[in-house]
Amino acid sequence: MPRVKLKGLNIRRNKAGTWYVSLRATGKLLLSAKCEREQLDAMMAGPDFLHAYSTAERKRRREYAAGTFGALAERWREGRSFKALKPRTQSDYAKVLLFLDRAYDYSAADIETADVVEMRDLAAELKGDKFSDFVIAVISAVFRDALEAGLMKDNPAKGVRRLYKANKDANRRWTEDEWSKAYAISPAHLRAVLAIARHCGLRGQDIARLTWENYRPDPDMGKVLAFRPQKNGDKVGEIAIGVPAELRSLLDAMKAGDGTVQPASNAPICRNSLGKAYPTENAMRKAWQDFKASDAFKSALPGSSDLTLHGLRVTFASELRESGFTDREVADMLGDMSEGMGKRYSRGAEMRKTSVRVFKRRAGNSQ
């Protein structure tokens, strides 16, 4: 049977053999099935799938009358503020917009705070408290954009209480025993990911994007990871984290390649089990989750199923604080911002001074 040729589809298959077919423009999942490709093509040619596809396309292309919530939502999605969001946030908010489709025909002027609360509670019931917070954030952003454009007189989502409460132990600090055992049995494709998070405290989204150009010689610290963080990078600029001996040994061996050919400067430092760049931070986290689900991990660390990659960043920061560095110095090393940071000048120069000071003290303590 010839393959179905419909525009705008994202067709992918995971390692377990399950196919996922979604609308590329919105991310809406249309079909999932564990089967061979020929069977998938047969299902995609069937009336159920074609109906789901046409319905999703019709909703995507639908035009909403002026003054409706749908018209305001579409205006916001096509505007500068939405496009300035990080890709992961855009993806999360796109799912919220699909959920809010049920309210798109409502007159925006008639929507009151009680209506927003009702939508929040429905989202919490169907998809959980965290998703309900995203719903409030999106509704508020839509109305804020309309308010600035003179299309609304107030923002009915302003002040609506969030329901989600983060678990304070969700990204807990690793113990030294957990680190040594997990790293010792970790697969080769995760070693650099774990070591960079542990020894330099980088966020997952930055680790996934590092290339060999980011690993550079430095006159004060020997070798550094120099990069512009995705979060706050437009404000803090490029930061340089000194690479301690254990991590440097690993990275130098990787940089040497096969002894004849070294990786190109634009090649990714961290690669998946197939030797390819992690396409997203989520893909990298999936590799970590797969490792945690392995028999080797469960056997070596039976009580550590709650360990996270971000917990290694917490571990890095905690050890800096215990070494006597100030909150400001720790924030500089993490590329974070403080309340008064906007008032400070020469931020990049200050952060480099901190990085050199931290590197030298850490190196001295390890001897």
Answer with the one of 165, 191, 220 that is the final residue of a domain. Answer: 165
**pLDDT, tens digit, for every residue of 265-294?**
999 999 999 888 888 888 899 999 999 999
If asked whether residues 199 and 305 sit together in one domain, one would say: yes
With respect to residue 128, please indicate whether it lies within any of the assigned structural domains: yes
**pLDDT, tens digit, for every residue of 141-182?**
999 999 999 999 999 999 999 998 866 667 888 999 999 999
Mean pLDDT of the region 177-193: 95
If asked whether residues 90 and 236 sit together in one domain, one would say: no
**pLDDT, tens digit, for every residue of 297-342?**
999 999 999 999 999 998 998 888 888 888 888 888 887 755 333 2
Give the integer Cα–Cα distance in Å for 304 and 174: 9
If asked whether residues 33 and 180 sit together in one domain, one would say: no
Backbone angles phi, psi at 285, to 5 degrees: -65, -35
Reported confidence tier of residue 351, pLDDT bands at 50, 70, 90: low
Answer with the one of 24, 39, 61 that is the final residue of a domain. Answer: 61
With respect to residue 265, please indicate whether it lies within any of the assigned structural domains: yes
If asked whether residues 2 and 91 sit together in one domain, one would say: no
Give the integer Cα–Cα distance in Å for 285 and 223: 26
Global model pTM greater than 0.75: no
> 12: helix, coil or strand?
strand
Note the pLDDT of residue 347.
44
Note the pLDDT of residue 199.
94
> Please, what is the average pLDDT of the chain?
86
pLDDT at 105 over 90: no
Give the integer Cα–Cα distance in Å for 105 and 62: 11
Backbone angles phi, psi at 123, to 5 degrees: -65, -40
Note the pLDDT of residue 202.
92
Note the pLDDT of residue 148.
94
If asked whether residues 90 and 136 sit together in one domain, one would say: yes
Give the integer Cα–Cα distance in Å for 262 and 351: 31
Other beta carbons within 10 angstroms of residue 53's beta carbon come to 21
**pLDDT, tens digit, for every residue of 119-135?**
999 999 999 999 999 99
- What is the domain count for the chain? 3
Give the integer Cα–Cα distance in Å for 73 and 291: 40
